[in-house]
A and B are shown apart, each in its own frame.
Chain A
Amino acid sequence: MKIGTIARNTFREAKRDRVLYLLFFFAAVCIVFARALAVLTVGDRVKIIKDVGLASISLFGVLMAILMGTGLVYKEIDKKTIFTLLAKPIHRAQFILGKYLGLVLTLFIMTVLMAAIFLAVLFAHTFRVEWPMLTAILFIFLELLVITAVAVLFSTFSTPILSSIFSLSFALIGHLSWGLETLIRKMRPGAGRTLARVLYTFLPDLENFNFKTEVVHGLPIPPRIYLYSTAYGLLYAAFVLGLAVWVFRKRDFI
């Protein structure tokens, strides 16, 4: 109940944020522009529209999650509204969860809107609704859940600028961590390799949520991966939120 109230307030607050609309505007422009870009290609134009559209949803979704998530807790501390909130019978974990869910709701609506524009642009080109695209978009949203949790974590102890840099780095590492596997394969067995292996499994693997290539090329996706990727995303987000709660519990506001 308390979590719901905080989430609703966070959503109302997010709705008033101009950055959200600015990013949404650019995302919409990119998705629509994909159609113009497709004219320049030789060959499959629909592929270009799909690639650019999905990339825009992913990129601007990540930017929304980072730019809004990193100021989420920090703003409350900076404006001293945190004192009023914590004076009430609210657990700090409830506060963090409420904030997180409020932003997740905002991102969900934004993702739905971007997806609607994307599908409309695709429909204008192919005259059919490309439902498989929703699979990729769903997992983009799952990626946003993880990145939002990370942004909230950094927001509990750092300034928005630093938190944005950290969160962006997290997103980059998440998409490049698979490269460690190549390195591990070339390493000799020993402590270094074990350490690299632990690091590899601990670091986020955001490629688990990347189904863009598969849906664009119509490749079969093993059903197990849906379950694993969803569970992985939810557990990773839960872990990061747990860390955020732990850090936030340690903070002294008096």
Chain B
Amino acid sequence: MTTRRIAPRRLSGGFALGLFLAATCAGFMGLKLETDQVLREKVPGSSIIYIPSGKFLKYATFGYSALAADLVYLWAIQYYGSPEIVDRFAYLDHIFAIIAELDPRYADPYEIGSMIADREAGDIPLALAILDRGFAKNPDMWIFPFEAGHIAQTRLKDFDLAREYFGKAMVLPGAPDFTKRLYANAAFKVTDYATSWETWLEVYNTATDDRVKKIASNHLYQVRAEMDVNALKEAVAKFKERYGRLPAALDRLVATGLLSALPMDLDGRDYVYDPATGDVKAPSLWWKR
């Protein structure tokens, strides 16, 4: 009899509790959606300046520094992808230096960090500094000097710097073959023809496919033609200085002792001379051979 009287009470209590839970759950879920509609003021990037140096942060991660690097990197990608934060680039170096300290072998952040610095922030020295840091911490990774060389060549047009970077990259294991070609090209651009010739010759001799062999051959033609044309133009200038007129033909340079012999291009053809202007040209365009 007692059991019969208690059971309905328990049942009604349970029902009331179930109702209470459902009501409160619906209530807070509804409020959550409502609260999301209210825009709260933010201080863009205000938290960044308090992030300590990676050296100290590393100790605070209790052995999970690689995980911390992943988290900071993921956060950084979201952060630098927010154009509404106008001063987001102010601590770019700081953030990527932290990731580098936490996980020095993590290659992506160096590349992405330098890309953000170069393309988004327009800070090329910083882009190079991030890649330099990557290379300093990973001297066996060709990608960092390679990327730096690419930036120096395409963005700064500093071929001397590009040659230096490509030179570092091409000797590292795993570096693609074209790194050597980029190095040879940069050497040509800074008029270091001897180095350029040697490197293209090496590319030509070690090439395993016809396409690369042809590319190297064309560049060898270009280097040789550039050197010969420069020498011929110099001799023409000396001739004019000595006789007060331009030579009628290039063989006059040999006859007057200004040249020991007339050079010929890589295909065995004579260089083209214009007696009216004194201009000397290669008989073929190097990329059309």
Note all chain B residues with C-beta closer than 8 A to A243: 21
Q: Residue A123 at the B interface, CB < 8 A? A: no
Which residue of chain B is the closest to A222 with respect to CB atoms?
B38
Q: Residue B6 at the A interface, CB < 8 A? A: no
| Shortest beta-carbon distance from B81 to chain A in Å | 11
Note all chain B residues with C-beta closer than 8 A to A225: 35, 38, 40
| Shortest beta-carbon distance from B88 to chain A in Å | 17
| Shortest beta-carbon distance from A139 to chain B in Å | 12
Q: Residue A100 at the B interface, CB < 8 A? A: no
| Cα A89 to Cα B62 with chains together (Å) | 51
Chain A contributes a number of interface residues (CB within 8 A of B) equal to 30
Using A182-B78, A217-B43, A224-B38 as known contacts, say yes or no to A239 and B25 having CB atoms under 8 A apart. Answer: yes
Which residue of chain B is the closest to A238 with respect to CB atoms?
B24
The segment out of B26-34, B232-240, B268-276 that lies at the interface is B26-34
Interface residues of B in 29-61 (CB under 8 A from A): 29, 31-36, 38-43, 46, 50
Note all chain A residues with C-beta closer than 8 A to B50: 51
Note all chain A residues with C-beta closer than 8 A to B34: 228
Interface residues of A in 186-225 (CB under 8 A from B): 201-202, 205, 208, 213-214, 217, 219-222, 224-225
Chain B contributes a number of interface residues (CB within 8 A of A) equal to 25
Q: Residue A249 at the B interface, CB < 8 A? A: yes
The segment out of A15-23, A106-114, A229-237 that lies at the interface is A229-237
| Shortest beta-carbon distance from A236 to chain B in Å | 5
Note all chain A residues with C-beta closer than 8 A to B194: none
Q: List 19 A-B contacts (CB under 8 A).
A: A51-B50, A93-B17, A202-B29, A205-B32, A205-B35, A208-B32, A219-B41, A231-B27, A231-B31, A235-B24, A235-B27, A235-B28, A236-B24, A236-B28, A239-B25, A239-B27, A242-B21, A245-B17, A249-B13
The residues of B with any CB-CB pair to A shorter than 8 Å are 13-14, 17, 20-21, 24-25, 27-29, 31-36, 38-43, 46, 50, 78
